Every structure is written in C-alpha cells, then in structure tokens.
Amino acid sequence: MDIINEIRKEFETRFGAEGDIRTYFAPGRVNLIGEYTDYNGGHVFPCALTMGNYAVARKRDDDKVRWFNLNYSDNGVIETSIRGLKPNDHGLWYDYQLGVIWAYGEKGYDIPSGYDMVMKGDLPAGAGLSASASIEELAAVIIRDLFSIDISMPDCAVLGQYSENNYNGMNCGIMDQFASAMGKKGNAIFLDTAKLEYEHVPLNMKNEKIVITNSKVKHSLAGSAYNDRRKESESALKYIQIVKNVETLGDLNEAEFEEVKDAIKDPVALRRGRHAVLENQRTIKAVDALKKGDLNTFGVLMKESHLSLRDDYEVSCEELDILAEEAWKIDGVIGSRMTGGGFGGCTVSIVKEDTVEEFKKRIADAYLKKTGKNCEFYIADAADGAGRIQ
C-alpha cells in the first residue's frame, strides 16, 4: 500500500533503517445505530472502517519516545519520556498516544522502554469517525506487540477509554475504542456496553451500500457539550433510582421508562433519559431486524434514532439535519441518521447500490444550495480491528 510505503520511507529517513521495524493499523469506526447509549449501559452497533491510522515503529533502549505524524508534519518530531506523564486536556494527536502509555502504567503494566514511530491516517479530520480512538488503539497494539505485553484486545479497548476519560478529560463511553480494537471484516459489532458482551453480526448487504456523508463542519461546542450530556443522563438516572432499583438507563425498556419518567423532575434530564432508554431499545430491535434480513425496519429505526438525537438529546445541528432529511426523500435510501458525537461530522445511510450515484448528486446539490458548503462521501466497508500488519 502507498501509505505504508510512505511512512516506512519517512521512518527510515528520520530514524534509520536498521533493527526490527514493525507496521500497524487501527481503524476508525462508523456507528450504524445506538448513539449516546454506551456510557448509559446500553447497546451499540458500530463497525470498524478500512480508513484509520497506520504506523511503523521500533523499540528503543531508553525511556524516550520519538514520534512523527505525516498528517501534522509542521509539529516536527515529538520527543518526550514515557516516565512522569501527567494528564492534560490539550487534545493534540500525541496526547492520545501518551495517554495510553500512562494508562498502561496506571493499570500495572510495565513498559520497559520507549519507541520510535512514524504514523499517518486517512480518516477525514473532525468527521466524527473516531480518529482519537483509532490513535489510542494504535498506541495500545504497538505497545502490546513491541513489548510482548499480555493484554487481550477487549482490554486494549478498555485501556483506550480509560486513557481518554482520565488522561485527556473526555468522558466518552467504550464504543469507539471497542469498535477499533474488535472490528471484523464484513461484520458490525453488537455490543452490550454494560457487560462488555459482544457479537459479530454479518452485515449481509448484497444490494446495498453503507454511505457516510461528511458535513465538513464541526461546531466548537462539541467537547464541553459532550460532557454536559453525560452529566444530564446521569442526573436522569439518579432521579429514577429514587423510585426503582436500576444500575443504568440501559436496564429499562420503554414500558418501564413510562412508569418512572415522572420521577425525573428536570425537563432536560427527562429528555436525555428518554433518548438513552429508547435508543437502546431501537438498537436491539434494529440488530434483530438485520438478522432477519428486514432492512426496511432497520431503516425506520435509523430515522427514529436521528429524530431522537435531534430533539431529545440535542446533539444534531442544521447541517446534519439537512443531510438526513434530504436522504429520507430519496427512493432507494433505506435509512439515514447522524452518526458519532454530533454537532457536525457525518451521517450514515444505507442506500440501494443502484441508487448510490443519484444519492450522492442529490444530497450534494441540496446541501450546497441550503448551506453554501460542499459535503464528501465515503463508501464504508466493515474492516478488521487494530493490530500488526504482517
């Protein structure tokens, strides 16, 4: 692959060609349904993408790391020690790598030395396709492999979430890291985030394509608002726990939520809680429909998901709403919704294969007319998870 050849050449130029140089990949993800359910103890249904972050790396004999990212070449070589790391919320690409090194230490694993690395990604920046989780899982598998650390891939996912929560200050759930770590070609992952029980479900889309549409916008409130939504959901749970013994919002079905919703005295928390409960149930129903080959029901549930994210969780935005609403108008579109954290980023659509070109043209034209912006399209193929490329 050209990208691997490029980073290998860059590595040899900057750090030398001798020694045991190894190559790695960690994918981004797209979530088909199940948004903002992962930290609420619900189910999610993402798949890993063929787009992600690549790296070549080699062990060092001292405590230093030297890293170069071809996507951020102006940063030059980042050089630091793996010892004495302290959490920060800067959100720079290498902070996600450092967070994983820190997390390994916090969890009692010994990293004996540093390493040299050159990396490059082909995920579009700010698109909500989990570039940060991809970077975290890339670091996790590099360290796991270079230093023969005995840690499972599900635990690599947990490690990535722990580092992002506690080193980088973003209170994300487990979905993004789990999808990057545990992806399987041709499959999505049906994950119970409360129990970390999962199942690979074949997508079996013979005449359909998964199309990601990038709005090319990312609104600045995303980071703080993400953490606010988590607090508001936790508030809803605390109100419910006054009247019912539950551990998470994901423990409730629709009827049970109806019984306890009047206990939630804050109207904002009520909306957040309603989304978390109903989105979890939508996800369970959608996966069941997919297993039965009922894509039409899956598509209806995708639309309901978007409306709930727009109205109850309030994480959509004008651009995402336009993309989804225009998609719903097109014959041959089975379903469409925003995906990821929202406030910009992407929609995901299931589109009949013979409609894809019409879909792209009509969506692009309508989006440009209504926003003055251009969007981008990617055909999503479900890929394997993070690991070393032999």
Q: What is the CATH number of the domain that holds 177?
A: 3.30.230.10
Q: How confident is the model at residue 296, as a pLDDT?
A: 95
The residue among 377, 367, 332, 375 whose CA lies nearest residue 351 is 332
Compute how many other C-beta atoms are within 10 angstroms of the C-beta atom of residue 313: 21
- The question of whether 155 is a catalytic residue gets the answer no
Q: How confident is the model at residue 17, as a pLDDT?
A: 97
Q: How confident is the model at residue 372, as a pLDDT?
A: 97
For residue 182, is it within any domain?
Answer: yes
Q: How confident is the model at residue 223, as a pLDDT?
A: 64
The two structure tokens encoding residue 86: 């302290």
Q: Strand 78-81 vs strand 64-69: parallel, antiparallel, or unpaired?
A: antiparallel
pLDDT in tens, the chain (390 residues): 699 999 999 999 999 999 999 999 999 999 999 999 999 999 999 999 999 999 999 999 999 999 999 999 999 999 999 999 999 988 899 999 999 999 999 999 999 999 999 999 999 877 888 899 999 999 999 999 999 999 999 999 999 999 999 999 888 889 999 999 999 999 999 999 999 999 999 998 889 999 999 999 987 655 688 889 999 999 999 999 999 999 999 999 999 999 999 999 999 999 999 999 999 999 999 999 999 999 999 999 999 999 999 999 999 999 999 999 999 999 999 999 999 989 999 999 999 999 999 999 999 999 999 999 999 999 999 999 999 998
Compute how many other C-beta atoms are within 10 angstroms of the C-beta atom of residue 76: 10
The residue among 38, 381, 380 whose CA lies nearest residue 213 is 380
Domain limits at 172? 2-202+384-389
Q: How confident is the model at residue 222, as a pLDDT?
A: 52
For residue 175, is it within any domain?
Answer: yes
Cβ contact 202:364 at 8 Å: no
Cβ contact 144:156 at 8 Å: yes
Identify the H or E element spanning 258: helix 254-260
For residue 111, is it within any domain?
Answer: yes
Q: Strand 43-59 vs strand 64-69: parallel, antiparallel, or unpaired?
A: unpaired
Domain count, the chain: 1
> What ranges make up the beta strands (E) of 34-94?
43-59, 64-69, 78-81
For residue 344, is it within any domain?
Answer: no
Q: Please tell me the pTM assigned to this model.
A: 0.93
The span from the CA of 258 to the CA of 260, in Å, is 6
From 176, 251, 312, 321, the catalytic residue = 176
Q: How confident is the model at residue 206, as a pLDDT?
A: 86
The two structure tokens encoding residue 303: 């639309």
For residue 65, is it within any domain?
Answer: yes
For residue 152, is it within any domain?
Answer: yes
Long-range contacts of 194-199 (CB under 8 A, 24+ apart): 194/41, 194/42, 194/247, 194/248, 194/250, 194/251, 196/154, 196/158, 198/154
How many helices, marked H, and strands, marked E, lie in the chain?
Answer: 11, 12
Q: How confident is the model at residue 220, as a pLDDT?
A: 61
- Read off the DSSP letter of residue 312: T
What's the chain's length in residues? 390
